[in-house]
Amino acid sequence: MVDGAEANSVPPIEVVGSSHGASPTTSGTNQGDIDAVTELLGRSPKGRFEVMLRSDEGTPMVIANLPLLEDGTPMPTRYWLLDKKLNRRIGQLESTGGVRLAEEAVDPLELATAHATYAAQRDALIPASWTGPRPFGGVGGTRRGVKCLHTHYAWFLVGGDDPVGRWVDNQLALNLPASVSHAARTHEEVPRPQDPGVPE
């Protein structure tokens, strides 16, 4: 039988692949990844992570966080978008009402399903013996609606069937390199408009 202290210790968990079975673009986290992620975040990462998507130059673009930090603090955001250009463009989209527009544009039932799927996949990484606090909510830690377009897009880029991520992708109409843009996706493509709609 496991006592309370052992049940609540955070065991080493290795993240391999995306939550949809697509292979990650890296096979582990090394010191170079930690240094790059630290620079992109502007701070040291708070927990263990796996680089899930890289640019053609090898720079981390999306990381997958474990659901528990080293001290057992819950981490609700599984996927984190690091790419500065994408973050800037999505920030511009948010500043022009993008969160509200995304909520209006997507099917609420499809969004609720995405939140539930995201939460279930994240929570499946928590050891069964864990009795401490757990992450809550779905994408971005919210149970319904849209909180942050960045988190939806990060999950979408690594294969998440996220209607908000698809909407963001359609709004940005980016021409990402094939090795980055859609290689890991397992869902159907959404047609892209010719006009990006968001200035660089």
Asked whether residue 27 is assigned to any structural domain, the reply reads yes
Spatial distance between the Cα atoms of 149 and 171, rounded to a whole number of angstroms: 11
Asked whether residue 186 is assigned to any structural domain, the reply reads no
* Amino acid in the structure at residue 199: P
Coil, strand or helix: which one is 99?
helix
Asked whether residue 193 is assigned to any structural domain, the reply reads no
H helices present in 42-177, as ranges? 84-95, 98-105, 108-123, 149-157, 163-172
27-56: per-residue pLDDT in tens? 467 899 999 999 999 999 988 999 999 988
Asked whether residue 134 is assigned to any structural domain, the reply reads yes
Q: How many domains does the chain have?
A: 1
Asked whether residue 117 is assigned to any structural domain, the reply reads yes
Spatial distance between the Cα atoms of 124 and 73, rounded to a whole number of angstroms: 16
Asked whether residue 192 is assigned to any structural domain, the reply reads no
Torsion angle of C-alpha atoms 184, 167, 137, 14, degrees rounded to 10: 10
- Residue 79's domain comprises 4-181
160-180: per-residue pLDDT in tens? 999 999 999 999 875 555 445
69-79: per-residue pLDDT in tens? 989 999 989 99
Which pTM was predicted? 0.74
